[in-house]
Amino acid sequence: MNENYNKKYIKFLLSLNAMTFQMLADKMTEKTGKKYTYNSIKGKLDRNRVTLAEAQIIADILGYDLKWIERKND
């Protein structure tokens, strides 16, 4: 997946939840104790540098689960 897809996907999920990047950053800061800002979240998405742990936190905040699903080899 390219970085634009990831950013657009997160932006889409945020809009479904009536949430902005700033609101997400504030919730991530509350949840982790680590300072997140609008610019840090957008920058990570622009550079495709969101860690798996951060992706899990974002998913949790938005009410989703990330799951590893084994592909079936046909």
**pLDDT (tens digit per residue) in 23-39:** 999 999 999 999 999 99
What is d(CA 72, CA 13) in angstroms, rounded to the nearest whole number? 28
What is d(CA 44, CA 67) in angstroms, rounded to the nearest whole number? 21
Contact, 52 vs 35, CB < 8 A?
no
pTM: predicted TM-score of the whole model, two decimal places: 0.85
Q: pLDDT over 90 for what percent of the chain?
A: 85
| Token output for 41 | 């979240």
Q: pLDDT band for 67, please (50, 70, 90 cuts).
A: very high
What is d(CA 34, CA 37) in angstroms, rounded to the nearest whole number? 10
Q: Residue 5's pLDDT is what? A: 87
Q: pLDDT band for 6, please (50, 70, 90 cuts).
A: confident
Q: What is the residue extent of each domain of the chain?
A: 3-62
